Chain A
């Protein structure tokens, strides 16, 4: 079974630029999550989708971050404009049931 796919794996941008990340979940997984992991910290949930709908985006900085999940499969996370403090690994996860989330390899973002 293929795992969660993410691209790109690495991205370097200057502050105030925009960036987008892509995620393809495990086939059949209705729930998709985006987490932010700052160096030395545990992942922090940014947004959770159930099929096409948003379940939880309480920790998403909505003035600069946006996410969508079209057709209940792939998802994109966008940052516009980026700040230095957005440097982190952005992890996508998916799940079939609440008790087991599977993570992708992540996208490492460096904002200079």
Chain B
């Protein structure tokens, strides 16, 4: 069964304190791995799509990497506005575009 596990469930950081969020997955043929940001009361906001092991993508203070079993979202020198829940999802190499989400990591960055 296709599955996504994210850790930690919650993370509290001081402003400027870099850290990483983990997303481990099992899927029958990975088509793509997705990172989304979700603020309270809002829908998920697309961040990155990674397609193959070894791939990396960056956006401002965020950098996503992918291996054959997991993905990391590295946050460098975070700011309070980076506080949100970060969701990881995978798409299997099947006929539909279904995203299978993890439960997310709730990040809080304190000034």
What is A's interface to B at a CB cutoff of 8 Å?
4, 31, 33, 35, 40-45, 48, 55-56, 91, 93, 95, 98-106, 108
Complex CA distance for A43 and B104, rounded to whole angstroms: 10
Contact A105 B102 (CB under 8 A): no
Residues from chain A with Cβ under 8 Å of B63 in the complex: none
The interface of chain B, by Cβ under 8 A from chain A, is 4, 31-32, 34, 36, 41-46, 49, 51, 87, 89, 91, 95-99, 101-104
User: Is there an interface contact between A101 and B99, defined as CB atoms closer than 8 Å?
Assistant: yes
Our pick among B44, B46, B98, B103 for the contact of A45 (Cβ within 8 Å) is B98
Please determine whether B43 and A42 come into contact, CB atoms closer than 8 angstroms: no
**What's the least CB distance linking A49 to chain B, in Å?**
11
Is the beta-carbon distance between A44 and B101 smaller than 8 angstroms?
yes
Q: Would you mind naming 10 contact pairs between A and B with Cβ atoms under 8 Å apart?
A: A4-B43, A43-B99, A45-B98, A48-B96, A56-B96, A93-B43, A103-B46, A105-B41, A105-B43, A106-B43
Count A-B contacts at CB 8 Å: 60
Contacting residue for B87 out of A4, A42, A104, A105, CB 8 A: A42
Residue among A43, A48, A95, A100 with max Cβ neighbours from chain B (10 Å): A43
* CB closest chain-A residue, reference B46: A100
Q: Once bound together, how far apart are the Cα atoms of A100 and B33, in whole Å? A: 11
CB neighbours (8 Å) of A102 from chain B are 46
Q: Are B101 and A48 in contact (CB under 8 A)?
A: no
Which residues of chain A have C-beta atoms less than 8 A from B36's C-beta?
Answer: 103
Q: What residue in chain B is nearest A108 (Cβ atoms)? A: B41
How far is A43 from B102 in the complex, measured between Cα atoms in Å? 8
In contact, B49 and A99 (Cβ under 8 angstroms): yes
Q: How far is the CA of A100 from the CA of B36 in the complex (A)?
A: 11
Known A41-B101, A106-B43; further 12 A-B contacts with Cβ < 8 A = A31-B97, A41-B103, A42-B4, A45-B99, A55-B95, A56-B96, A91-B43, A91-B44, A95-B97, A99-B51, A100-B46, A100-B49
